[in-house]
Structures are given as C-alpha cells and as structure tokens.
C-alpha cells in the first residue's frame, strides 16, 4: 500500500467481504487533463500495475497532468487464480466503474499482466484499445511511437473488459488496456512503468 504525498489525496471508496478499493489523486491539480489508472484488478498479476501507481506517486510534483489512481485490493481468495480474478473484476465493476463515469476523466488506462503464449497471446506487451474510434487509436499510436517495445493488439478471449473497461467506454470515455508480460523481472517491470508514465505524461490529450 502506498500513502498520499503533499499534492495528493486518498480515500477508500468502497468495500465488500472480498476486498476494497482505494482512490488516489496525484499530479498537477491545475491541469484540465485527468488521466485514470486502474490497478490491481487481477491480484495474482498486480506487480506492474502497482509499479505504475508508485511511479505516479513518486513523480507527483513534476507531472503535467492530474492523475486519479484506483487501486483494487482483493482480500478473499486472492491466491486462487480464477476466483481472485473474478473478485477483483466485481470490485472494479461495483466501485471503480461508477466513480470513473461520475468524474468524466479525459482518458482511462487499465493496467494488467498476461502469461504470454499460455494465455494464447501473440504479443506479450501491448496496448488494447477498448473504445473505438480515431482518437483512442491516435493516443495508442502516440504512446507506441514513444515506446516501440509496445504494439497495438486485440488479444483473444479477454476476461475483464466486460466488467470494467467496456462499461466505461460505453459512456463515452476513451479507454485503453495496457498489458505487460507477467514473467518479466521486477526491474524490467519497474523500468517499463517509468517509461509508460513518462510517455503518457508527454502525450497530447484534447
């Protein structure tokens, strides 16, 4: 768990018998651009998403935009792959989705990890646009231009979009899922998180 710093705020926005959700605000409070990061939805694959959250926290005073981070904590069956994922998805559906729709952010990134070939994926590190249209694709292209290790890719049989990102996109907010490889080293995940946060903070959002 990370704590707030001088330019941030934090609150638990909801809890159930199987977990709870925290909301953190970081970055430039005067910016009209509000970027959301959703983290921790799948508890056995949360290291990279928490790296992203921590990088935003640590750089809060120097960021161009305002950032809202939702951190999902699964407390029941977190080590059960199937049930833990479902509990995280239900927590995000119940608490994150309505709050994101309420605050009307500029853009949303849902951060995940995958198991590569065993997940049936052709690419292991990619951006998966959920909202359709030229604007979302343009943002994805801008980020992959800055981070050429990423590709734009639609994976087979994703599980979380129907619970989290699709409902947000259906309300008109542009959404991209960021996927990285679960078996990357901790140092690589942290390095990639730093690069991703920097790329987003230097991307033009209208």
The answer to whether position 2 is within a domain reads no
Alpha-helical (H) ranges within 106-146 are 134-146
* 85 inside domain: yes
Q: Do 17 and 76 meet the contact criterion of CB atoms below 8 Å apart?
A: yes
4 within some domain: no
Mean pLDDT in order along the chain per 10 residues (206 residues)? 49 97 97 98 94 97 98 97 97 98 98 94 97 96 98 93 98 98 97 98 96
- Full-model pTM: 0.94
> Into how many domains does the chain fold?
1
Give the residue numbers spanning the domain of 54: 9-201
Region label for 172, one of left (φ > 0), alpha (ψ between -120 and 50) or beta (otherwise): left
pLDDT at 3: 37
* CA distances for 7 relative to 10, 24, 141, 192, 202, angstroms: 11, 10, 30, 24, 20
Asked whether residue 3 is domain-assigned, the answer is no
Q: Would you state the pLDDT for residue 8?
A: 63
| Domain assignment present for 25 | yes
The encoded tokens of residue 37 equal 């990061």
- Supply 202's token pair: 């230097």
Q: Are 158 and 165 in contact (CB under 8 A)?
A: no
Q: Is 20 exposed, middle or buried (0-12, 13-18, 19+ CB in 10 A)?
A: middle
Structure tokens at 144: 């992959």
The two tokens of residue 30 are 């005067």
Domain assignment present for 82: yes
pLDDT of residue 6: 37
Which 3 state secondary structure label does DSSP give 33?
Answer: coil
Give the list of residues 6+ apart from residue 30 with CB closer than 8 angstroms, or none.
none
Read off the CATH number of the domain in which 22 is found.
3.40.630.10
Task: Give the CA angle between residues 81, 85, 86 to the nearest 5°.
Answer: 120
């Amino acid at each position: 768990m990370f704590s707030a710093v001088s330019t941030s705020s934090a609150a638990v926005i909801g809890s159930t018998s199987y977990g709870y959700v925290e909301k953190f605000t970081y970055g430039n409070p005067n910016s009209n651009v509000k970027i959301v990061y959703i983290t921790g939805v799948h508890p056995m694959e949360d290291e990279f998403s928490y790296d992203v959250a921590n990088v935003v926290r640590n750089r809060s005073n120097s960021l161009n935009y305002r950032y809202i981070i939702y951190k999902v904590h699964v407390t029941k069956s977190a080590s059960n792959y199937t049930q833990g994922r479902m509990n995280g998805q239900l927590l995000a559906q119940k608490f994150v989705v309505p709050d994101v729709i309420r605050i009307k952010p500029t853009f949303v990134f849902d951060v995940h990890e995958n198991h590569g070939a065993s997940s049936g994926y052709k690419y292991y590190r990619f951006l998966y646009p959920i909202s359709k249209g030229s604007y979302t694709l343009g943002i994805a292209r801008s980020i992959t231009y800055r981070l050429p290790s990423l590709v734009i890719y639609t994976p087979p049989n994703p599980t979380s979009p129907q619970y989290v990102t699709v409902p947000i996109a259906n309300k008109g907010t542009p959404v991209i899922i960021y996927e990285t490889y679960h078996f990357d080293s901790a140092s690589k995940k942290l390095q990639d998180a730093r690069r991703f946060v920097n790329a987003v903070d230097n991307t033009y959002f209208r």
